[in-house]
Amino acid sequence: MSPENSRIRVTDIGGVMRVEFVDRDILDESAIRQISKELLQRIESSPVPRMLISFQGVEHLSSAALGTLITINSLSKKRGGQLRLSDIKPSIMEVFTITKLNKLFHISETAEKALDGFGGK
C-alpha cells in the first residue's frame, strides 16, 4: 500500500486507519507533500474514512503540515468520515492553540481515547 520510502506507518485498528510518523520533524515540504498524497489516497479509497493520526514522537510541525491536516479533515468530513488526532506533546499543542486549529480538530490525549471516540460510528 505505502511506498517503500513512506514517512508514515498505517495500521488498521477495527476499521480505523491509525497513522504514525516515521520522523520526529514534520517540516520538509517534499516529505509533507508525499505524506499528504498517501493519506488523501487512503481517504479517497475508503467508503467512510475513519482516520486517527498519532503524533507520538513528533517534535516539530510546520504550517505546511497543518495545511495538510486541514485538507485531510475536510475530505474526511465530505466523505462522511472523521479525522481524529492524538498524542500531541505540549509544545506542538501550543501550535494548534495559537492557530486556533484546536477548535477545528478532534484532539484526544491518547490514541486509545481517540479510538474510543470513533465509537460505533
**And the C-alpha cell for 111?**
490514541
Closest distance of CB 15 from other proteins, Å: 26
Under rule CB under 8 A, residue 103 binds other proteins: yes
Which of 76, 13, 65, 14 is closest to 42 using CA atoms?
Answer: 76
Stretch of residues binding other proteins (CB under 8 A), selected from 5-13, 43-51, 97-105, 108-116: 97-105
CB of 14 to other proteins, least distance (A): 28
The phi, psi pair for 113, rounded to 5°, reads -65, -35
**Binders in 65-94 for other proteins, by CB under 8 A:** 66-68, 70-71, 73-74, 91
The neighbour count for residue 120, using CB atoms within 10 Å, is 3
Q: Which of 45, 100, 119, 120 binds other proteins (CB under 8 A)?
A: 100
Residue 54: closest CA among 95, 113, 103: 113
Tell me how far apart the terminal alpha carbons of the chain are, to the nearest angstrom.
25
Q: Are 89 and 59 in contact (CB under 8 A)?
A: yes
Per CB under 8 A, does 28 bind other proteins?
A: yes
Applying CB under 8 A, the residues found at the interface with other proteins are: 27-30, 60, 62-64, 66-68, 70-71, 73-74, 91, 95, 98-101, 103-104
